[in-house]
């Protein structure tokens, strides 16, 4: 079995603006582009045999430098797309609070109970994420290298949480930064956490606001 590298996409323009992106196909910010380059440098010497990504632009742009340097294809999996935020899509946190205040409070305290209006539940997200994970592990069952999966906050939280044996109610119990690395060893049939939310390759990067001022 391979070791799996989970990485959240780099900082996007939606992250900077502070709105719920969901399925919106937003690009990386200037800082996000630098994060993608740093990620590629960090993993330069790692024996990565496959790169999987969400179909959304911000995820594809995150792994494109790594794939280009190695001459590898990016294998797109639709199951890795971000949670459908439904009517929250494109709204800031304050706007969601004004229109869906009680539901937003529930999302922060008991996220497993929330179905966003016109969107998805975390259970639906976890089901498709775990389906993709099972198939990826089966495809690389004889590998002893690394397989990289680039996806989004909600999707990765459900996948990582499941590997850690956490209930969906606890998806906020760990941090997951843009372009971070979380690694599991799946050898032996049971996932073993090797690294969680590592961002040492990003520590000296300027904020997007600082970069725009240059």
Q: Which residues are catalytic?
A: 9, 152
Distance (Å, whole) CA 158 – CA 122: 7
141 near 1, Cβ under 8 Å?
yes
Distance (Å, whole) CA 53 – CA 58: 10
Distance (Å, whole) CA 18 – CA 80: 22
| Rg for the chain, CA atoms, rounded | 17
Residues paired with residue 40 on neighbouring β-strands, in sequence order: none
Calculate the CA 99 to chain-centre distance.
27
CB burial readout 48-60, b (16+ within 10 A) else e:
bebbbbbbbbbbb
β-strand pairing of 48-53 with 181-185: unpaired
Angle between helices 57-70 and 30-42 (to 10 degrees): 40
125 near 83, Cβ under 8 Å?
yes
52 near 149, Cβ under 8 Å?
yes
């Amino acid at each position: 079995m391979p070791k799996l590298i989970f990485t959240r996409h780099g900082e996007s323009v939606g992250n900077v603006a502070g709105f719920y992106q969901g399925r919106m196909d937003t690009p990386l910010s200037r800082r996000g582009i630098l994060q993608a380059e740093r990620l590629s440098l960090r993993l330069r010497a790692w024996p990565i045999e496959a790169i999987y990504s969400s179909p959304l632009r911000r995820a594809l742009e995150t792994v494109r430098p790594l794939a280009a340097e190695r001459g590898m294809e990016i294998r797109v999996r639709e199951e890795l797309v971000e949670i459908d935020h439904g009517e929250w899509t494109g709204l800031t946190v304050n706007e969601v609070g004004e229109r869906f205040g009680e539901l937003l409070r529930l999302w922060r305290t008991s996220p497993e109970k929330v179905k966003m209006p016109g969107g998805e539940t975390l259970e639906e997200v976890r089901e498709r994420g775990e389906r993709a994970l099972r198939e990826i592990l089966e495809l690389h069952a004889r590998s002893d290298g690394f397989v990289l999966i680039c996806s989004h906050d909600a999707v990765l939280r459900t996948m990582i949480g499941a590997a850690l044996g956490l209930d969906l109610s606890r998806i906020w119990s760990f941090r997951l930064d843009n372009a971070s690395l979380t690694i599991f060893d799946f050898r032996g049939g049971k996932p073993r956490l090797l690294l969680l939310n590592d961002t040492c390759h990003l520590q000296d990067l300027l904020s997007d606001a600082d970069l725009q001022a240059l």
